Amino acid sequence: MKFVVTGAAGFIGSQLAERLLDGGHDIVAVDCFTDYYDAALKEENAAGLEVARLDLAEETLDLAGVDGVFHLAGQPGVRSFGDVFEEYVRRNLLASRRVFEAAAAAGTRVVFASSSSIYGDAERYPTPEESEPRPISPYGITKLGCEQLAYAYSQGFGLDAVVLRYFTFYGPRQRPDMALARIVGALARGSSFELYGDGLQSRSFTYVSDGVEATIAAMERGRTGTVYNVGGGEEATMREAIATLERVSGRTLDLVERPAAAGDVRRTSADVARIERDLGWRATTSLQDGLQAQWEWASARVAAP
C-alpha cells in the first residue's frame, strides 16, 4: 500500500516510516523541519528516507493514489504558554485542518496522533477515552482542537479518521526537550539534570516501537471515528525512572530540583481496554528494557567522535 507520513523526520514519525518500508509499503515522507529543536537531529532521524519538505499550514498534500495518511506532524511540548502559542495554532490546528480537508476530498483514511495532554489532570485513573477532556496547557488545547476538527470533517465531509492519544513515548531518537532524553544525556555526559516538581509525578511511559505497532494497527483495522489511548504497560514516577536509568547506566545523576512547571500534569495513566479489544494491541516492552535501549543508543552517540 501507499502511505503518507507527516512529521517523518521526527522521533516517532521516522521510526514509523522505517517500519512501513520494512513491511513492503510505499511511503511519501513529509516534514517541515521546524526550528523547535536542532534540525540536524531530524536529518539524522531521516537518514535513508526521502523526505519532502512541506509546510502543511500553507501547502496542500497530494493524495492521489494514497491509501492512508499517518498525520504525526505538529508542534510538540506542553510548555506552550506565551508568545509561542501562535506557532501551536499554526502548526497544529491550521496544518491539521488542511490535512483533514485534503484527505476528506480524496477519500483517504487518516490516523491522527493526538496526545494524552488533552486529559489534563484527569478525572480518574487509569483514564478511559470517554473521560472529560480538560487540558491545562495551550499545547493540549490545540491537540484537542485537532481532534474536534477531525470530527467536524467526518460529520460534514465524510472524513475517515482514527484518533490516537499517545502517552509519553520514549526510546531511541526521543526529542531532546523531553525529560528522559535529558536525563540520559546528563548521565552520558556527566552533567546535571533539572527536575521540575517533586519527582513524584507519574507517567504511562510507552516504548516507541510498541507505539508504532499500535499506529499501524489503527490504520489497518481501527474503527472510523474512534479514539484510542496508546499507553505503555507500566506507570512510573520520574524518580523511579531516574533510579532505573541510574541502574542501567551504572552512574549517579547530578540532580538539581526546581519548582513545578506550568502545564505539567501530575499523572497520566492510560486505560487501554478499548485498543486491546478492537485492535488486539497491548504494550509489551518493560520500562527497564526500554530505558536500557534508550541508554545504549544515547551513550553510543555521546561516545562517537
Indicate which residues carry an active-site annotation.
139
The H or E element containing residue 13 is helix 11-22
> And the C-alpha cell for 135?
487540558
CA 66 to chain centre: 23
Dist. CA 48–CA 187, nearest whole Å: 29
> And the C-alpha cell for 297?
543508543
Per DSSP, helices labelled H in 158-270 are 179-189, 208-221, 238-249
The H or E element containing residue 278 is helix 273-279
Whose CA is closest to 110, among 150, 56, 75?
150
> And the C-alpha cell for 295?
541508554
Do residues 72 and 51 make contact, with C-beta atoms less than 8 angstroms apart? no
Whose CA is closest to 205, among 283, 113, 264?
283
What is the residue type of 161? A
Per DSSP, helices labelled H in 46-163 are 85-88, 95-106, 138-157
Do residues 264 and 201 make contact, with C-beta atoms less than 8 angstroms apart? yes
> And the C-alpha cell for 61?
498534500
Any idea which residue has 517541515 for its cell?
A: 32
Whose CA is closest to 284, among 196, 203, 207?
207
